[in-house]
Amino acid sequence: MHPIEWKITAQDGEARTGILRTRRSIIETPVFMPVGTQGALKGVRFEWLENEHDARIILGNTYHLFLRPGVETIRKLGGLHKFSTWDRSYLTDSGGFQVFSLTDLRKLSEDGVEFRSHLDGSKHFLSPEVSMEVQAALDSEIAMVFDECPPGDAGFDKTRESLELTARWAKRSKDRFDELQDNGFLSEPPAIAGGSMRPSLKPNTIDIDLQPHDTASGSDRTQNVKLSGKQALFGIIQGAGHLDLRLESLEKTVNIGFDGYAIGGLSVGEEKSVMYEVLEYIAPKMPQDAPRYLMGVGTPEDLIEGVARGVDMFDCVMPTRNGRTGSAFTSTGKINIRNAKHSQDESPLDADCPCSVCRRYSRAYLRHLYQAGEMNAAIMISHHNLAFFLDTMRAVRQSIKFGGFSRFREEFLYKLGDGDRSDV
């Protein structure tokens, strides 16, 4: 019995759709996962994510939650789901990327990383084992191995040294993860999605009754799926822009064996062409029978190009980060609401967007709110941006299912180029 179930439902070239079932939700892929760094999306309430956006999975950030409010606090309060009230799926990163971005505040060894908190300068230590313990206490549906993320311009020798360390840490992560799952270190009993634990079931066995909300898949019947109730663990492939090292990292990671596989170390300063080349080379070589996750990416264009190369899962802070600075993603390109040309514009942010912000508010009004320093401006633009990213992925899934992804990709990217680039 497995912690997740994964099934490919359609394929168009390398692009594919699938169903990822966790103990809490049915997730249709390709999927964009909003980032809830502190156990919350900045400026966006969970009610909106659930009721309007129908997001099935979001991210929690291990590094930030480890520092504040602290893992023991969250564990005592029943785990991240109960603490935050988000009842759908969580994916937690390992904390590695954030720690390794603290170049001047960390000390790396084979054991792990000693670092100083960006909050108060206090010393802390993260290792594969500690990261697994933190993520078990957070009780996410999907946990990530602890890895080292080298800079995008790292040389061959440095990158090889890094990926070998990542492989050793992946094995240690897996060993500790398995111990924690077997010994019941999770914050909650095995979680149950949309159903109840039946007394006749064995411990750690759940009977899940789930109803997909997106009936475009052609299936509107309740699914009955037996899962283990434990967490899933994804391995991470490193190797920067060196294709032979990417392949070596993939082989080492697959040999350890994980529930899914992620591509790390991209969108960290390298040229777009390098990222696309790496994806084109490595994604089709990743296991067909497991989800493929591209970490920390990216723009709407990046999502489309990643899907075209066989990626199933994406995450990025862009929708809310851009929303806070007045930038809105639209079907004709990104706009900056601060631009004076929007001061009397009665049109919505995006005429093709069905979100509640676009149905009600004009660009002129949103610009007025932003210029006046009203927090509602950032909240509403963030709300729209999330709708745009999630609706884009729904359209992507539809195009793959009907064998029209190539045409969709061409038309989508062409329309993005129609926007006034000087507006950004």
On whether the CB atoms of residues 409 and 392 are closer than 8 A, the answer is: no
What are the residues facing 11 on neighbouring strands?
Answer: 16
Greatest alpha-carbon span in the chain? 65
3-state SS, 198-266, equals CCCCCCCCEEEEECCCCHHHCCCCCEEEEECCCCEEEEEECCCCCHHHHHHHHHHHHHHCCCEEEECCC
The alpha-carbon radius of gyration of the chain (Å, integer) is 21
Beta strands 15-21 and 223-227, pairing class: unpaired
Residues 72, 77, 83, 89: is their CA dihedral positive or negative?
A: positive
Alpha helices of 283-416 — where are they, by DSSP H?
300-308, 318-324, 356-360, 363-371, 375-401, 405-416
Cis omega (within 30 of 0) for bond into 287: no
Tell me how far apart the alpha carbons of residues 313 and 306 are, in angstroms, rounded to a whole number: 9
| Percent of residues in the chain assigned helix, strand, coil, to nearest 5 | 40, 20, 40
**Active-site residue (options: 93, 139, 259, 391):** 93
Tell me how far apart the alpha carbons of residues 383 and 171 are, in angstroms, rounded to a whole number: 39
Tell me how far apart the alpha carbons of residues 102 and 110 are, in angstroms, rounded to a whole number: 18
Instruction: Look up residue 280 and give its amino acid.
Output: E
Q: What Cα–Cα distance (Å) separates residue 250 from each residue in 79, 100, 147, 178, 271?
A: 32, 21, 13, 21, 22
Return the SS3 of 91: strand
Q: What's the start-to-end Cα distance of the chain, in Å?
A: 50
Return the SS3 of 106: strand
Residues 256, 262, 267, 271: is their CA dihedral positive or negative?
A: positive
**Active-site residue (options: 12, 139, 259, 315):** 315
Q: Would residue 315 show up in a list of annotated catalytic residues for this protein? A: yes
Going by the DSSP 8-state scheme, the letter that residue 398 receives in this structure is H
Angle at 140 between CA 107 and CA 57, to 5 degrees: 115
Catalytic residue annotation: 93, 315
